[in-house]
Structure 1
Amino acid sequence: MSETILKVAGLKVAYGGIKAVKGVDLEVRRGELVTLIGANGAGKTTTLKAITGTLPPCKVDGTISYLGQPLAGKQSFRLVEQKLAMVPEGRGVFTRMTIHENLLMGAYTRRDQAGIDADIEKWYAVFPRLKERSAQLAGTLSGGEQQMLAMARALMCHPTLLLLDEPSMGLSPIMVEKIFEVIRDVSRQGITILLVEQNAKLALQAAHRGYVMDSGAVTMTGNARDMLDDPRVQAAYLGE
Structure 2
Amino acid sequence: MATNILKVENLKVAYGGIQAVKGINLEVNEGELVTLIGANGAGKTTTLKAITGTLPQCKVEGEMHYLGEHTKGMTSFNLVKQKLAMVPEGRGVFTRMSIQENLLMGAYTRDDKAGIAADIDKWFGVFPRLKERAAQMAGTLSGGEQQMLAMARALMSHPKLLLLDEPSMGLSPIMVEKIFEVIRSVSAQGITILLVEQNAKLALEAAHRAYVMDSGLVTMSGNARDMLDDPKVKAAYLGE
**What TM-score does the superposition give when structure 2 sets the normalisation length?**
1.00
RMSD: 0.4
| Residues 209-238 of structure 1: CA deviation (Å, up to 9, x unaligned) | 000000000000000000000000000000
Unaligned residue ranges in structure 1 (runs of 5+):
none
4+ runs of 1 displaced by more than 4 Å?
none
Secondary structure of the residue that 1:222 maps to in structure 2? strand
Size of the aligned set, in residue pairs, is: 240
| Partner residue in 1 for 2:158 | 158
Aligned partners of 1:24 and 1:129: how far apart in 2?
Answer: 39
Aligned partners of 2:186 and 2:43: how far apart in 1?
Answer: 26
| Partner residue in 1 for 2:230 | 230
1:103 aligns with 2:103: yes
Q: CA deviation at 1:80?
A: 1.2
Percent pairwise identity:
82
| Partner residue in 1 for 2:114 | 114
| Residues 23-77 of structure 1: CA deviation (Å, up to 9, x unaligned) | 0100000000000000000000000000000001000000110000011111112
| Partner residue in 2 for 1:192 | 192
Aligned partners of 1:127 and 1:26: how far apart in 2?
Answer: 32
Secondary structure of the residue that 2:162 maps to in structure 1? strand
Letter aligned with residue 227 of structure 1 = M
Unaligned residue ranges in structure 2 (runs of 5+):
none
| Partner residue in 1 for 2:142 | 142
Q: CA deviation at 1:152?
A: 0.1
Q: CA deviation at 1:191?
A: 0.2
Task: Report 1:71-90 matches (<5 A).
Answer: 71-90=71-90
| Residues 83-106 of structure 1: CA deviation (Å, up to 9, x unaligned) | 000000000000000000000000
Secondary structure of the residue that 1:79 maps to in structure 2? helix
| Partner residue in 2 for 1:16 | 16
Q: CA deviation at 1:79?
A: 1.2
Secondary structure of the residue that 2:94 maps to in structure 1? coil
